Amino acid sequence: LLAKANQEKKLLRNMKNHYWARMHVCKAKMKVFQRQLTEALKWRKRPNPLRILVEASLKDQGTK
């Protein structure tokens, strides 16, 4: 019984770590993506299509 409880505890801890790791990766990816976008906006003279794309993707994330 004790072994089973310990196993479950370990599993829970692993899940939590996995969740946080994934969150971190997701945030890092978003940061990189945003940096790339701002660079692109700086270099482009007409950033309108990009801006529309960004707004669309942000709306997408809001619904998920």
Question: Where in the chain are the domains?
Answer: 2-63
CA-nearest of 31, 29, 27, 52 to 41 is 52
Q: Which residues contact 47 (CB under 8 A, 6 or more apart)?
A: 40, 41
At 3 the pLDDT is 86
At 59 the pLDDT is 78
At 63 the pLDDT is 59
Model pTM? 0.39
> From the first residue on, what is the mean pLDDT of each consecutive set of 10 residues in the chain (64 residues)?
87 85 86 87 67 76 62
At 40 the pLDDT is 80
